[in-house]
Amino acid sequence: MRFVDEAVIEVEAGHGGPGAVTFRRESKVAFGGPDGGDGGRGADVIVAANTRITTLLDHRYKRWYRAPAGDPGDRGQRTGRGGEDLVIVLPVGTVISDEETGEVLADLTDPDTRVVVAEGGRGGKGNSFFATSTRQAPRHAQPGEEGTKRTLHLSLKLMADIGLLGLPNAGKSTFIRSVTRSRAKVGGYPFTTLVPNLGVAMLGDREVVIADIPGLVEGAHEGQGLGDRFLKHVERTRVLIHLLSLGPDAPDPLEAFDTINAELSAYSPTLEQLPQVVVLNKTDLIDDPYELTLWREAFTERGITLMDGSGLTGDNVREIVAAAVRILDSEIEEADGHEDESSEPWSPI
């Protein structure tokens, strides 16, 4: 399935049904009075979150949604039936905003979220409503109100516990394949990953969702390398595993670390504050283990504790994920006195 995280759709709620202009026609009742009923209310347009959907692809091809109108009123002061609400199902994590004003109408962070984004019009009053002592046979009724029309911008931000971050070719896709059953594309060249990938790892009886964010480059916050599109997915994660590549052709880990964090800070102050597990990845590509010691010392001078491992061989990946989970659970454990469950065996699902 193709991953699409941006779409624009137009929605129109149902028009209210018109009121009826009718008069009583009964035997032995002369000059029956007005008995036209009110029109039914137009249907609302509702957006609803669903965990089974992971892309906005359908809304790239279907861009117009119109809810049904209310039925007209009927004789006997019977009100017309209201239109059945139109429900548009979207992935959890979708932000819905008004395309013209930029106003955020809904943020579907909860699977049970349902939000009305366009209200149906009220039904018109029938002629019985307008009868008075001096005007006993009104021959007019109200038309129904028009439903709300809106152009909506949909932006999907992945919901994940842990985000994998790094420059292109840092080994993120290989890492996520190692710890989950994600089928992320892997290649020995930059920009193998062009869309975010999600994987789920089991730690004991707990599921942990991990997102592989495509590689970021300098200027990402300004749109370089589609970086602004990728950075928005980082906003939903709670902790980052920052992978720094080793090997003959790898960039300097300190420079790579600074580049990524500068982009996080420039895009949003909240991203800069996300906790990170900093990892020297691809340890299988180095010949001299002393190189790891040198890099640990260099990062320690900045007050940063390094971990190391290899997504390709699986070396130390369990410990890296466990470290991230300890950060996730630290506040809960402190508040509730729960024991650390990160030492439980984990397995990909």
Q: Tokens 């504790």 map to which residue?
A: 305
What pLDDT band is residue 336 in, cutting at 50, 70 and 90?
low
What pLDDT is recorded for position 38? 96
What pLDDT is recorded for position 178? 82
Is there a contact between 307 and 277 (Cβ–Cβ < 8 Å)?
A: yes
What pLDDT is recorded for position 219? 53
What pLDDT band is residue 90 in, cutting at 50, 70 and 90?
very high
What pLDDT band is residue 14 in, cutting at 50, 70 and 90?
very high
Residue 189 in this model has a pLDDT that exceeds 60: no
**If one looks up domain 162-348 in CATH, what number appears?**
3.40.50.300
* Model confidence pLDDT, tens digit, residues 20-75: 999 987 766 666 789 999 999 999 999 999 988 888 888 988 999 999 999 999 99
* Topology agreement, domain 1-156 and domain 162-348: no
Is there a contact between 36 and 141 (Cβ–Cβ < 8 Å)?
A: yes
Other Cβ atoms within 10 Å of 288 Cβ, number: 8
Annotated domain spans of the chain:
1-156, 162-348
Which span out of 166-180, 228-242, 282-296 was modeled with the highest average pLDDT?
282-296
Q: Across all residues in the chain, what is the average pLDDT?
A: 82
1-156 belongs to which CATH class?
Answer: mainly beta
Q: What is the chain's length? A: 349
Residue 124 in this model has a pLDDT that exceeds 90: yes
Residue 221 in this model has a pLDDT that exceeds 70: no
The residues that bridge with 47 in the sheet, in sequence order, are 88, 115
Residue 236 in this model has a pLDDT that exceeds 90: no
* Model confidence pLDDT, tens digit, residues 275-329: 999 999 988 888 888 888 899 999 999 999 899 988 888 888 888 988 888 888 8
What pLDDT is recorded for position 96? 94
The CA distance from 124 to 77, in Å, is: 12
What pLDDT is recorded for position 70? 96
Higher pLDDT, 225 or 10: 10
The CA distance from 298 to 306, in Å, is: 10
* Model confidence pLDDT, tens digit, residues 79-89: 999 999 999 99
What pLDDT band is residue 193 in, cutting at 50, 70 and 90?
very low
What pLDDT is recorded for position 348? 43
